[in-house]
């Protein structure tokens, strides 16, 4: 223990000359220990209470962020669905009821009275 204004040499002389007590009394030490234990006990309880309050705040923030995230994801999904429906108009093929066949069915081909197809071109060969 350093005393203000004394050098180490002076402090040692004072201790050896019994001007300063070497140790504190047992009663004073017990009182100091009890006060420190109470302080430590209150500090632990206060720290625990602060920790619980901090956890409650953090959990509430996380819950709020979760709600906001769900709302954002729902909004984004709705926007994607609207966009898909708009793009479907542009990229959709013709519907089945107005489909165009590759070949004309035989029953729709018109024929002349002599049994020849009207669409056929006359042959270059002369008649007999």
Between CA 114 and CA 122 the distance in angstroms is: 13
Asked whether the predicted pLDDT for residue 77 surpasses 80, the reply is: yes
The whole model's pTM is what? 0.38
| pLDDT score at 78 | 97
| pLDDT score at 43 | 79
Cβ 118 vs Cβ 112: under 8 Å:
yes
Q: pLDDT higher for 103 or 79?
A: 79
Asked whether the predicted pLDDT for residue 100 surpasses 70, the reply is: no
What's the whole-number mean pLDDT along residues 45-66? Answer: 94
């Amino acid at each position: 223990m350093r005393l203000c204004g004394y050098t180490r040499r002076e402090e040692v002389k004072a201790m050896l000359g019994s001007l300063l007590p070497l140790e504190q009394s047992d009663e004073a030490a017990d009182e100091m220990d009890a006060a420190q234990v109470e302080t430590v006990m209150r500090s632990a309880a206060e720290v625990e209470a602060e920790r619980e309050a901090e956890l409650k705040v953090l959990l509430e923030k996380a819950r709020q962020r979760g709600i906001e995230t769900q709302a954002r994801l729902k909004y984004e999904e709705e926007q994607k669905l609207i966009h898909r429906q708009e793009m479907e108009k542009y990229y959709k093929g013709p519907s089945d009821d107005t489909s165009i066949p590759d070949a004309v069915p035989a029953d729709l081909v018109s024929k002349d009275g002599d049994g020849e197809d009207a669409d056929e071109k006359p042959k270059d060969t002369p008649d007999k």
